[in-house]
Amino acid sequence: MTIYDFKVKTQKGEDFDLSNYKEKVLLVVNTATGCGFTPQYEGLEELYKKYKEKGFEILDFPCNQFLNQAPGTDEEINSFCTLRYNTTFPRFKKIKVNGKEAEPLYKWLQKEKKSGLSSRIKWNFTKFLINKNGEVVSRFGPTVKPSDIEESILKELNNAR
């Protein structure tokens, strides 16, 4: 199984097949607009602008499971991110990342890369790096800044398929 086996919902609630990202390096992030890590949107956008043309995509999944730090509708979240942080990378429908109602994609991501002994997502801005074959290669905790994973992204972009 790879990330390409999953469908997710766009902000407008339409099905979106992640196989559309075949042969790209992906960074999958659960985000929140009212979190202490929210300023990471700036670093994420910098990475996106720098490497998008080289085959890099960031997939943003807002999540309100951690102290209700992503309130509002999908449209309100998108407006906040684009106006406050000028983000241009794809943002999907708000999801749950833990528990019985967790998005299937996130259940798979957690199974593929645990954090220590636990597979649970500990907080917003947990990041999963996916290679060009759709496989999870790394998991980064919320405290890891986007700039700190640039080298890992570059390594995957430079890896032949």
pLDDT in tens, 104-121: 999 999 988 776 557 889
Task: Give the whole-angstrom CA distance, residue 3 versus residue 151.
Answer: 22
Over residues 126-144, the mean pLDDT reads 96
Predicted local distance difference test score (pLDDT) of residue 115: 63
The structural domains of the chain, with segments of one domain joined by +, span 3-10+22-158
pLDDT in tens, 36-84: 899 999 999 999 999 999 999 999 999 999 988 888 888 988 888 898 8
Contact status, residue 137 vs residue 130, Cβ threshold 8 Å: yes
pLDDT in tens, 11-24: 999 999 999 999 99
Which of 18, 26, 35, 58 is catalytic? The answer is: 35
Residue 13 CB-density burial (10 A; 0-12 exposed, 13-18 middle, 19+ buried) = exposed
Task: Give the whole-angstrom CA distance, residue 64 versus residue 133.
Answer: 30
Q: How many CB atoms lie within 10 A of CB 51?
A: 19
Fold of 3-10+22-158: Glutaredoxin (3.40.30)
Query: Catalytic annotation on 63?
Result: no
